Amino acid sequence: MGAPTELNNYNQKILRYEWESLIFLIVEDLDFNYMFLAEALKKTNVQILWALNGQEAVDICKSGIDISLIITDIQMPVKDGYTAASEIHALLPGIPIIAYTAYSYEGLRERVLSAGARECLMKPFDARQLLITIRKYLFIS
């Protein structure tokens, strides 16, 4: 970022959910869940990349694309969200990872956070909760 005015404008955009300069990676194997997330993010104007499993997510992260944030399901084929989050966090520790799941058990949150995610949302959650959670992890000076 350049001058203080430019930084202030950037911060105001983050607060208003105007994130058109950012790229988010959604890691989700079910069309319905992906469509919910994409619709929830629609007003933000972020660019969305979609990985159908954890291995695709890791491969996208290795490609050099400047991803700002990752939203990942935990239960997926090929490579689950725990493993993918762990590998991505080791590769790119600065990228916030927000995990979510419909399954709950004791120790789940701790397991997700120890894999490298910064947050674990439990389904059902609404679009507003998702946006507030995302905003919490975007850069604001």
**Pairing state between β 119-122 and 47-51:** unpaired
Q: Report the distance separating Cα 127 and Cα 75, nearest Å.
A: 20
Per-domain boundaries in the chain: 18-136
State the pLDDT at residue 10: 53
- Number of residues in the chain: 141
CA distance between the termini of the chain:
11
- What is the maximum span of the chain, computed from C-alpha positions, in angstroms? 47
Topology of 18-136 in CATH?
Answer: Rossmann fold (3.40.50)
Q: What is the pLDDT of residues 102-130, one digit of tens each?
A: 777 777 788 888 888 998 888 888 888 89
State the pLDDT at residue 141: 38
Nearest CA to 56 out of 47, 67, 45 is that of: 67
Q: What is each CA distance from 96 to 2, 86, 93, 135, in whole angstroms?
A: 23, 12, 8, 11
| Structure tokens, 131 | 């946006």
Ordered per-residue pLDDT tens for the chain, 141 residues:
555 565 555 555 556 677 888 999 999 999 999 999 999 999 899 999 999 999 999 999 999 999 999 999 988 889 988 899 999 999 999 999 999 887 777 777 888 888 889 988 888 888 888 998 898 888 643
State the pLDDT at residue 16: 66
State the pLDDT at residue 89: 94
